[in-house]
Structure 1
């Protein structure tokens, strides 16, 4: 049993602390990037102060996440909080600009990994290669998806899985049906 988890891991403060630490940033680093005091940021992370929407935008930018991940999500019943995420209570993450809709399956961002439900719309793609300091495993539930890892393109079919270990990658769904995948990413990036 882990005793180092926060008592209320589903709070904005806990999520901010987890994101900051995942990026190797100290309170001072993030406070400086935001032009705010360490004391203010500490109070936000301890849920003693509520940041404004302008602050949330600045924090999201400094942590390189979407603002939507910082918005509160539907509270789970007390017995489920930190354990269960209902389909109707998933937090949308990322940007849908490239035709990718992502939802956080993990109860919060305080674990060493995150689990994401990804839907790649038909005829969508990212053109720029992405490289992140993560290990990622994807499992395709439905549709087909082309995943390019280190310059080699793989067509992934339902039931197939793949791994990316810090290599450059990009994806494309040139097909007529959506592709739905489950991704596990360590450390969390959202």
Structure 2
């Protein structure tokens, strides 16, 4: 390969690396703020200094995978949250979420899987897709200062709001307005819901 072509390739690679570093820093910052975490919280989770985390969020520092795992754990997302598909056209970023590119919220444990349907974090509300296995339960025993709405795409759900129980099924929707609630999938098949929360808690 000619010398000038090699130099050009190296410059392009460095520009790509710089772009990735900046994008990662922005993603960490947006998610940290959406989770109401401070720089000190992330520094404590990684054993790094606040100054280093600040530099990282501005795309001016490299981070080892081990530290990124700790950040992901602290923010309640899987590692792949920070590595969205590069196949998405630039004009779709922040606007469109393709079905094969949804990012998972938290670990897929306890019979509940949640995938973000919002193109980005940090907006006025969060929308996600919840897939609930039969027999799975969840309880929010205290108020969270949120308004939450759900639409049952398929399956059924028993939901308790205050002293009332409601049974909803495919095509039904509901709202929980800043009150304790719990739910259960009482059926024999998965329940799929579109869930919206304002302000975001994920």
- TM bin (shorter chain): 0.7 to 0.9
With normalisation by structure 2, the TM-score equals: 0.75
Query: Partners in 2 of 1:94 and 1:152 — Cα distance?
Result: 29
Query: Partners in 1 of 2:45 and 2:31 — Cα distance?
Result: 14
3-state SS of 1:79 partner: helix
Deviations 1:87-119 (A, max 9, x none): 011112223222112111111213222110111
Query: Partners in 2 of 1:187 and 1:54 — Cα distance?
Result: 31
3-state SS of 2:159 partner: strand
Could you say which structure has the higher helix fraction? Answer: 2
Q: Tell me the CA shift for residue 120 of structure 1.
A: 1.1
Alignment check: 8 A CA contact 2:68 2:79 kept: no
Root-mean-square deviation (CA, aligned residues, Å) is: 2.6
Corresponding residue for 2:170?
Answer: 158
Superposition map of 1:1-190 within 5 A: 11-63=23-75, 65-68=76-79, 70-75=81-86, 76-126=88-138, 128-129=139-140, 131=142, 132-190=144-202
Query: Partners in 2 of 1:40 and 1:181 — Cα distance?
Result: 40
Corresponding residue for 1:5?
Answer: none
Corresponding residue for 1:3?
Answer: none
Query: Partners in 2 of 1:130 and 1:37 — Cα distance?
Result: 35
Count of aligned residue pairs for this structure pair:
180
- The gaps in structure 2 that reach 5 residues or longer are 1-19
Alignment check: 8 A CA contact 1:14 1:45 kept: yes
Q: 1:186 to 1:44 in 2, by over 3 A?
A: farther
Deviations 1:20-59 (A, max 9, x none): 2234343244334543222211122223334333222322
With normalisation by structure 1, the TM-score equals: 0.79
Query: Partners in 2 of 1:133 and 1:62 — Cα distance?
Result: 22
Query: Partners in 1 of 2:160 and 2:62 — Cα distance?
Result: 41
Higher relative contact order (Cα pairs below 8 Å, separated by 6+ residues): 1
